[in-house]
Each structure stands twice: as C-alpha cells, then as structure tokens.
Amino acid sequence: MAELCDRHVFVIFGATGDLTRRKLLPSLYRVVTENGVADRTAILGVSPTEMDDAAFRALAWEALEEAGFEDVDAHAWCDERLFFETIAREATDYAPLADRIRAIERDLDMPGNRAFYLALPPVAFPGVIENLGRAGLNESGGWSRLVIEKPFGKDLRTAQELNYLVHRHFDEKQVYRIDHYLGKETVQNLLTFRFANPLFETSWNRDRLEAVEITVAEDLGVGTRAGYYESAGVLRDMVQNHLTQLMTLVAMEAPSGFNADAIRNEKVQVLESISGIDPHHVIYGQYTAGEINGESVVGYLDEQGVAEGSKAPTFVGVRIDIDTWRWQGVPFFLRTGKRLPERTTQIAVTYKPAPVCIFHGKADACPISPNVVVLTLQPDEGFEVRFEVKSPGTGGVESKAMYFDYEEEFQQLPDAYQTLLFDVMTGDQTLFVRGDEVEASWRLWEPILQLDDHPVYPYAAGTWGPAATNESLALWTDEWTMR
C-alpha cells in the first residue's frame, strides 16, 4: 500500500517557466498518480504572467503531452486539480494570494497544508520569502513548507544572508533546499550500499583503501545558459552542490538512524573535518572546439552569450584530503566538466594492493591489480566489483568483474524530481540540504572561489579535460578508473 500524504495545496512560483513545464508538472502528475494521491493535491501556479485557470491547464496539458502522457486522466487531472493566480510579486499581491489559497481549500475541503515551491531565478528568492512571511503564509492550521531550488547563494556570505532571511519566517523543519542529485535513486543507494553491506563497509577506511575518485562528466556544452554560467562557472554549478553531496555520502560515518537529522549531521561532520583545499590541487579547464560522438562542436568562447576572452571554467579537477581517523591518507579526487567524451557519473573506490606479491618471478613486475568497486550513478546505474582470478591453464592472473545492473533488476527508476516532490508532500527532509550543511559546503569552497587568476587551461571538446590534470592533482595512478 502506497504511503499517503496529507491533503494540501502545492503552490508553484514560476509556474510558466521552463522548470515547471519540463520537470515539475510531469513529475507531479507521476507522483500523484503512482501514489494514489491525485485527490489529495491541488496545484496552484503563480507567476506575473496574465493567465487564468483555463490557460494554465492548457499549458499543463501540453507539458504532460510532451512528457508522454496523452490519456484522458491526465487532462481530467489538469481540469480538476490545477489553478492559477497572477501576482506581480509585490507585497500587496500576497493578500489576494492567501485568499485564493483559502478559497481552493474551502472548495476542495482541504485542511490548510501548503507547500511553496520557488521555481524561480535566485534573485527572486528573497522577495518571495519575505512576502510569504509578511502575509502570514509561513504558518497555517496545518503545515507550511518552503521548497527552494538551487543555487542557494553564490558564496558563503550570500548563503548566510539567505538562510537568515529564510529563518526569520520559516523554521528549518519547514525548509526543503533542493539538490536534485539527492533525488537520484542510485545516489540514495549509496547509503544502502554502504550501511546494509558490512562486506564493503568494514573495509571502507584508510586501512584498506588507496583512493576514491568521483567523476561527473557531461557531453553537453553550456547550451543556452551562458548568461548564468558565465558568473557561476563549474565550481558553483556542479561542485559546491552535487559533487560535494556525493563526496559526503561516500565519506560519512554511519548515522545513528535512517532519518533526516541523523544523516545530515554526519554529512556536515565530513565537511567540517576537511581542513582546507590546497589551491595547487585545483585544476580548471575550459573547452575549445572539438568533436563529441563524431560531431564537431564549438568551443566555450564561441557559445552564444559568452563574453569575449571569458575565463569561466567549464572543467575542474580537485584533490581533497579528509582529516578524520577513517580517511586520513586516502585522497578523494573529484572531477567534472562539460563537453567531456560521454555523460557519466561514477564513483571508483580502489583498495590497497596485496601487501606481498607471490605471483611473479623475482625479476617480473607483480601482475596483481588492486580490487576496485565502481558505482555508476548514471546513465547505466549499477556497480561493479573488480577482482583477480587465475587464468586457466597458465600461472597468470587476470582482472575480472562482477556486475550489478539496477535497471535490469528493477526496470524503470523514478525520476529525481518525482522522489523529491513526494518527500515534500510527506514531510521527509532526508534528501534535502540543511541550512548549516549548505553553509559548510560554501565555507569549504570559498577560498577556492576567491583565488584570483587561477589558471584556466584549454581542453578540446571530447577529451577528459586539460592534459595536466592528473599530474597537478598528483593522481595516485596513471589513469582515472572508469567502468
């Protein structure tokens, strides 16, 4: 029996925007139908666009059709459960908004539970939060939850200011900061992999491990988002949030329970135990023209909207040392970039070599490779364990692997947004970033963000970043470990 959520109004700010159309509406439809809660949810779209309920419903039909839902039920859901309110985002608009929410609650017999989802550019966050608070929409007879899209601040100071504003009006228990990587099934599986399998967890430490590598590679370029990317760059866009989340999930200690605060406490501890990142261990790159999947693509500087001579990095490789009893001496290598040869997210955990090699003549090099666990988070979700076997008929040793393929076992995996939206509806904060956690992450990356004139090396699109990466990071081996 699926879990049910309380009856509620789900208010989307930025209801006519791209995120709502591409992600939120299709995911909301999947969430409510798959969990049998369609009659427990009313969606109220909000934006400055002049539009009525009928026009918003038509927009939603299109969005659902584009996502592959063409059935009558999807149309009926839009007609019965979707509403729209035009507000210009002035403080005075929030009283009519509150009235509209109450009217919907009255008509649909809802007890006053509300989620406010800010699918907006970050500059709009403070105004909306302030106005929600002033209009008393931060509390109600039921619950009131605030969902904030990334980026949460653009450095430590702005993140602190935003937290301060949020906490003036909302208690942390009401706040859901989105990092969509946490909604990915395979990212969540990291905790199960580690803490439900003593086989791996008992060796997940400095006694047994040599290094951890985290790769988030994208084959796409910056696309139409140069306006944002020029000031964000790769560190703000991918590392401060997604890669940092992956690192903390790999490195955290076992939580005291499987609940939001216990898990988030341990993640914060990881961030706080990193004493700093050596700037010499940070290498930036920017893609130049090249070839991806046999097609020529332009360099970053020739993308639409990119400033002449821009130094915005589109690749970063970094080495992090975590100063805890578990991790001291086990380097973490992180890399991410746009226009790399393929789209893949992988975590490779390499074990120390056998202490003594008995499989070779005195003059020969030891033929044994270390054991490796490679967790592939996308696109071919699963993991592999590499181990050594005897080559039949010879005295040789070969590396082989055991594979687990998520989709083969479980078929289709839920979309990240689907998971996160249902968690908002049911009040589970586990997969959302806590206020102190987001600040701890900015605190870690702040000194690197402040480096002036840190070199940005060119790399041809379709390659794995600047040639100097491995040497600069003092990668523990010749090549990154990939599946």
Question: According to the binding rule CB under 6 A, does residue 53 interact with ligand BG6?
Answer: no
What is the number of other CB atoms lying within 10 angstroms of the CB of residue 413? 16
Using an 8 Å Cβ cutoff, are 323 and 275 in contact?
yes
Is 237 or 381 the residue whose CB approaches ligand BG6 more closely? Answer: 237
Residues facing residue 337 across a β-bridge: 217, 315
Question: According to the binding rule CB under 6 A, does residue 237 interact with ligand BG6?
Answer: yes
Q: Catalytic one among 75, 180, 242, 280?
A: 242
Question: According to the binding rule CB under 6 A, does residue 213 interact with ligand BG6?
Answer: no
Would residue 242 show up in a list of annotated catalytic residues for this protein? yes
Give me 302's structure tokens. Answer: 């020739």
The CB-of-466 to ligand BG6 minimum distance in angstroms stands at 19
Question: According to the binding rule CB under 6 A, does residue 415 interact with ligand BG6?
Answer: no
Question: According to the binding rule CB under 6 A, does residue 381 interact with ligand BG6?
Answer: no
Question: According to the binding rule CB under 6 A, does residue 218 interact with ligand BG6?
Answer: yes
Is 26 or 133 the residue whose CB approaches ligand BG6 more closely? Answer: 26
Question: According to the binding rule CB under 6 A, does residue 230 interact with ligand BG6?
Answer: no
Alpha-carbon radius of gyration of the chain? 24
The CB-of-218 to ligand BG6 minimum distance in angstroms stands at 5
> Measured at CB, which residue is nearest to ligand BG6?
237
Q: Residues 266, 269, 273, 276: is their CA dihedral positive or negative? A: positive
Q: One symbol per residue from 59 to 98: x for binding ligand BG6 (CB under 6 A), - otherwise; what is it? A: ----------------------------------------
Contacts of residue 80, Cβ cutoff 8 Å, sequence gap at least 6: none
Is 237 or 423 the residue whose CB approaches ligand BG6 more closely? Answer: 237
Distances (CA, A) of 365 to 208, 259, 304, 480: 22, 49, 52, 21
Is 60 or 162 the residue whose CB approaches ligand BG6 more closely? Answer: 162
Per the document, the length of the chain is: 483
Question: According to the binding rule CB under 6 A, does residue 219 interact with ligand BG6?
Answer: no
Is 174 or 240 the residue whose CB approaches ligand BG6 more closely? Answer: 240
Q: Which long-range contacts (C-beta less than 8 Å, at least 24 apart) are formed by 262-266?
A: 263/191, 263/430, 264/429, 264/430, 264/433, 264/434, 264/437
Report the C-alpha gap between 432 and 52 in whole angstroms.
33
**Catalytic residues, which ones?**
242
Residues that bind ligand BG6 (CB under 6 A): 218, 237
